[in-house]
Amino acid sequence: MKTLLLVDSTHHHNTEKVGRAMAEVLNAIVSKQKLIADHQALRIKLQAKGFILVDEFCCLGFNTNSFLKYFGGMNKGRPNEEDLQNTKRFAETLKARF
């Protein structure tokens, strides 16, 4: 199975870290792209083009957007090693299914 992971990772590269951890397990290519900001709109657009979304993964990431930067942000240190291990376990389940 050929796998391409599209990531849109700008501020702290949290999404890219998670994508690269997943790519290790899936032997996938990671491509940084500017994607649609609204998650639901992206899902609809991909499905309309014939893509099959088989699952989704999420975890906390360090966030300093907007007013949060004045308070030192939230979820500092995330994704951490445990988050990346969870990412790899998730990828293993995907690999086993396909």
Whether 17 contacts 79, CB under 8 Å: yes
Confidence at 46, pLDDT banded by 50, 70, 90: confident
Average the pLDDT over 8-31 and give the result: 90
pTM (2 decimals)? 0.79
pLDDT class of 23 with cuts at 50, 70, 90: very high
**Residue 25 pLDDT > 90:** yes
List Cβ neighbours of 86 (8 Å cut-off, separation of 6 or more): 59
Query: Residue range 63-69: average pLDDT?
Result: 87
Task: Calculate Rg over the CA atoms of the chain.
Answer: 14
Backbone angles phi, psi at 46, to 5 degrees: -65, -45
Residue burial 61-70, b: 16+ Cβ < 10 Å; e: rest: bbbbeeeeee
Beta strands in 1-98 (DSSP E): 4-7, 29-32
CA distance 4 to 26: 9
pLDDT classification of 47: cutoffs 50, 70, 90: very high
What pLDDT score does 40 carry? 87
